Structure 1
Amino acid sequence: MTLSELRTQFFESLKDVYPSEETQAFFYELTGHYLQLRRIDVALKPKQEISTEVSNLFSEAISKLKRHQPIQYITGITEFFGLPFGVNEHTLIPRPETEELVEWILKDLQQQPLQHGILDIGTGSGCIAISLAKHLPKVPITALDISQEALQIATKNAVRNTVEIDFLKHDILSKTPLPKTYDIIVSNPPYVRELEKKAMHHNVLDYEPGTALFVSDSDPLLFYRKIAQVAKSHLSPKGILYFEINEYLGKEMKTLLETEGFSEIQLKKDLFGKDRMLKCRWYE
């Protein structure tokens, strides 16, 4: 089988499942992953012979794509903030809005020296902590998660990106105190309400870890409230708390943090004009 024939087979198999543009993106992702070919290589080498082993890998990928498994879980890797990250069913696939949160923190830190380091709560794949560590090599960074499987992936990602992170298994809803004080605490906790499931795609609902995504409709700010309370005990004076938030709950988040005693609360919109980030400062 040639590369051209593989491409034809791939598009024909998925034509009733995905738009052609999305199928094309999947094909380039897989040729890059399995064949180390760039887009231009695919165009210039249509007659390149494809081994049976690679052909079988593509057949497996087609079957998984038909079941709407995310391409990132098929290849086992994705990109975040220009860095490679391994992902699997125990970790969320990093989103572009989370990149904006990292960029916001880095921009703020140009004018704020750190003495006690940064804490990332609910680190998942480690994308926030590792991206910050890559750009702040002298700043101590701790990252915690309740999932041992997620921490294993995050640890591998830290090695992959040659950074040092202090990973910690911890349930933020427990009453167990954290080991130290931090200048910055950042979190992208579960915030999708059950009522919002109907608007979500199967590739998210069926494959990404629900415990990292969903909260009950009756208490959608559960994790934010608990993290804010923990932050009051573990932020240094004038320390800053950053959150990624539910776009529909910006006002409620601001009220929550005011009630908890935080100051200088700032909502920030993402590139699509949605309230997706928030920061506030803690004064003892």
Structure 2
Amino acid sequence: MSYEELWHRLTPLYEAGEAKAVARWVLDVRFGLSMADILCGKVTDLSANDQAELEKMMLRLEKGEPVQYVVGTADFYGRQFHVEPGVLVPRPETAELCEWILTQKSRPSALLDIGTGSGCIAITLALEMPETKVSAWDISDAALGIAQGNAKTLEADVCFEKQDALSPPSDSRRWDVIVSNPPYIKPQERDGMAENVLNHEPEVALFAPEENPIIFYQRIGDYAWKSLTSGGLLFYELNPLTANEVSTYLSRLGFEEIEIRQDLFGKQRMLKAKKR
């Protein structure tokens, strides 16, 4: 198969530019072919075994499976994280949330990431702030295994724990920063979502309960109010449709200096709140 044949096979799912990018990424990450190699026609020089593997990967892509799952890696904050269907594919908006935390004037002594998934937030912050003790929770054994593997590969010191965000512990631990990217998509938003997300990414990490779509923000906010140190910060990734509801709830709890920021697409995507 030539490069042209590969990306043309993906055009029913992607625009031409994105189809080319997906094909290039597969050839680069899995088969080590640079753009120069591709332009020189070295795709057709792959061994019979590699050609067979490439065909299997193409069949998965043609079914709409995210390329990150197909190649097993996702780029996040300049690093590569292993991902598979048990965790969400890290998004650029989440990297913006990490950047916001990293631009704070003081470094936290203890930070907690609730709902860690692949570990992209916790591991990134642990590597960028080595003086901070970072912990991370998730309810999924599969996610915790993936996150622990990523921490080992990237040599990040993170303490992972199995914990339900809706039933946080009543212990005496104290955090300077709590961050969470919880399930926040309303079920009624399903019709407007991409098929590759709906069919392949874990629903438990995507969708909030229909009867209360901000319940994760509420329970995490309740826990943060009890467990943050004085002046401690709470950071959320938001659903723009419920951003104001979340802000109002935190304000009623007593949080101050609540700020909502837009992501690179101009949507209300991030929140910071301070415990007085």
TM-score calculated relative to the size of structure 2? 0.95
Rounded to whole Å, the distance in 2 between the matches of 1:175 and 1:24 is 45
1:249 aligned onto 2:245: no
* Secondary structure of 2:166 counterpart: coil
Rounded to whole Å, the distance in 2 between the matches of 1:106 and 1:175 is 25
1:73-92, aligned counterparts within 5 Å?
73-92=69-88
Q: More displaced, 213-222 or 13-22?
A: 13-22
* Secondary structure of 2:146 counterpart: helix
Q: Tell me how far 1:153 sits from its aligned partner.
A: 0.3
Give the corresponding residue for 2:129.
136
Give the corresponding residue for 2:93.
97
Q: Give the counterpart of 1:160 among 140, 153, 157.
A: 153
1:238 aligned onto 2:238: no
Structure 1: which 5+ runs fail to align?
none
Cα distance 1:21–1:173, how it changes in 2: closer, same or farther (>3 A)? Answer: same
Give aligned pairs, total.
276
Q: Tell me how far 1:52 sits from its aligned partner.
A: 1.0
Rounded to whole Å, the distance in 2 between the matches of 1:235 and 1:266 is 17
Give the corresponding residue for 2:14.
18
Q: Give the counterpart of 1:71 among 42, 47, 67.
A: 67
Q: Tell me how far 1:247 sits from its aligned partner.
A: 1.2
Q: More displaced, 141-150 or 27-36?
A: 27-36
Q: Tell me how far 1:6 sits from its aligned partner.
A: 2.9
1:146 aligned onto 2:139: yes
Q: Give the counterpart of 1:112 among 106, 117, 123.
A: 106
* Secondary structure of 1:278 counterpart: strand
Give the corresponding residue for 1:122.
115
Q: Give the counterpart of 2:32 among 33, 36, 43.
A: 36
- The answer to whether the 8 Å contact 1:6/1:55 transfers is no
- Tell me which amino acid in the other structure corresponds to 2:138: D
Q: More displaced, 268-277 or 124-133?
A: 268-277
1:55 aligned onto 2:48: no
Root-mean-square deviation (CA), in Å?
Answer: 1.5
* Secondary structure of 1:215 counterpart: coil
Q: Give the counterpart of 2:173 among 169, 180, 193.
A: 180
Q: Cα deviations across residues 55-92 of structure 1 (Å, max 9, x unaligned)?
A: 11111111111110000000110110001100011100
Q: Give the counterpart of 2:218 among 211, 220, 225.
A: 225
Structure 2: which 5+ runs fail to align?
none
Rounded to whole Å, the distance in 2 between the matches of 1:96 and 1:159 is 23
1:194 aligned onto 2:190: no
- The answer to whether the 8 Å contact 1:124/1:151 transfers is yes
- Tell me which amino acid in the other structure corresponds to 1:52: A
* Secondary structure of 2:137 counterpart: strand
Q: Cα deviations across residues 209-268 of structure 1 (Å, max 9, x unaligned)?
A: 000010123201000000000111211111100000001222111111111111111111
Rounded to whole Å, the distance in 1 between the matches of 2:253 and 2:80 is 37
Rounded to whole Å, the distance in 1 between the matches of 2:23 and 2:44 is 15
- The answer to whether the 8 Å contact 1:192/1:215 transfers is yes
Rounded to whole Å, the distance in 2 between the matches of 1:47 and 1:280 is 51
Rounded to whole Å, the distance in 2 between the matches of 1:27 and 1:96 is 20
Rounded to whole Å, the distance in 2 between the matches of 1:159 and 1:76 is 16
* Secondary structure of 1:190 counterpart: coil
Give the corresponding residue for 1:9.
5
- Tell me which amino acid in the other structure corresponds to 1:60: K
Rounded to whole Å, the distance in 2 between the matches of 1:6 and 1:58 is 11
Q: Tell me how far 1:202 sits from its aligned partner.
A: 0.9
Give the corresponding residue for 2:258.
265
